[in-house]
Structures are given as structure tokens and as C-alpha cells.
Amino acid sequence: MAKPVATIDDLDQTQTARLVMDVLHRTIVHYALWFTEIRHQMGPEKALECLSTASERSIGIQLKRLGKILGFDLQDGIPTPLLNMEKKDLSALLDGAAINWLANDGVWFQSVEFTNGMNDAKRCNDSSWAHFSPFEAWSVRRFLDLGDRPGLEGLKKALNFRVYARINVQSFEDDGPDAFIFRMNDCRVQAARKNKNLDDYPCKSGGLVEYTYFAQSIDPRIETECIGCPPDAHPDEWYCAWRFSLKK
């Protein structure tokens, strides 16, 4: 007969492990809710300012505590097991994290689509990108130390450090001195649909939000133009293409 569970101490090994995972999940959600609420009450600039301060402190505190429990050290704030991995294994971990990010996005989309339909899912998706793209641009700018107005060369570099850049195949082509064309030559989502003989996912509405907000967050002088994106017709060589130009 199973032992009655009245407190956490009554849990068995498996139940305790499951609770550990649940507490980690609660921490992630709570972290995101703090950022969301500050953005709502004080605006995006203040939210990113607080995020910069809070994330450095929070991640440091959490890794230090987990390191003591799990038996790993930190070097310049990075767990030594990551630093000691072979580069190919570390790259595989990066790929796995990037694919998990995309899978997470798809799971959220489908959770709305399967209960409320495609229109609500696309509406939530596009609104989410309106918040995620500026955040990702901010994150990339900090990682690369790009500065406030890095221009088109800065945008090219930033596009190469998006999560998508690790998942999809993309290319660049200069279009005069003050513009370039960015193409998504292979898209993991669209390729998967193609393999199932499904039509392209009509992602243009989300793409207009995604790329416009990302580019402007890298440099507010940059303008974004859609050359083609599903449901638009496109050649076999790419799924979507965008032109970025610098305002004169």
C-alpha cells in the first residue's frame, strides 16, 4: 500500500525528482512574468534595464547554488562542465537548445490552434513576436557588443546570431551601398510541411512583425521590406526574402 503523501518529505524518489522539475518550471515562468509586468507598467526600455540587472544576479545566484549541490564549479559565471566539453559536443548542445526553442514555439502555437482555431493562434503568435523580436535583438546586441546604431553590417551580424540562424539555412546579398537582401533558403518548419505534402504555412504576417521589429531594435534607421513570404509564391531556392535598407 502506498504511503500517504501529506508533505514534501513524504514523496518518494520519483515524486521528488518530478517536483524538482516542477519548481524549476515555476521559476522560469515567474521570471518571465516579472519581465512582462514591468514592461506593462513601466514600458519596454525600463523592463530591459531591469532584466539586465536582474538576470545577471539571478543566474549567478542560481548557478552557484546548483553548483554546490550538483558538484560543478563556475569560471567567469560559466559552469565548468560546459567549458570542458569538446567543441563538437558543445555545438550539439547549442543545436539541441535551438531546436527545443523552436519546438516550444510550435507547442504554444498548437495549444491555441487546437482549442481556439488557426486565427487565434496566428494572432497570439504575431503578438508574441512583437515582444520576442525586440528582446532577441537586445540580447544579441549585448552578446556582440554592437552598440546603439551598428548599421546594416551590424544587422547582418545580428541575424547570424538569432536562434533561427542555428536551425535554418540563410544567405545575404548586397543590394547597393545602403541595402541588402536576406533570404531564408531552408526553413525547418516549412521543410517539415513540404515533406508531409502540406502547403506552406502562411507566415507572412508574423514575418513582417518579426523582421521589422528585430531590424529596428538593432538600428532604428533600418527599414524592412518583404520581397516574398508564404502565402506568397516563391522559388525553390528560398522560402522568404527580405530587403533591409538604411534611411538616408
Count how many Cα atoms sit within 13 Å of the Cα of residue 243 in the half-sphere of its side chain: 11
Instruction: Kindly report the pTM of this predicted structure.
Output: 0.92
* Domain layout of the chain by residue ranges: 12-84, 86-247
Residuewise pLDDT in 10s, the chain (248 residues): 566 778 999 999 999 999 999 999 999 999 999 999 999 999 999 999 999 999 999 999 999 999 999 999 999 999 999 999 999 999 999 999 999 999 999 999 999 999 999 999 999 999 999 999 999 999 999 999 999 899 999 999 999 999 999 999 999 999 999 999 999 999 999 999 999 999 999 999 999 999 999 999 999 999 999 999 999 999 999 999 999 999 87
**CA-based nearest residue to 166, from 240, 71, 97, 236:** 97
Round to whole Å and give the CA distance between 55 and 59.
6
Round to whole Å and give the CA distance between 222 and 182.
13
For the domain made up of 86-247, the CATH class stated in words is alpha beta
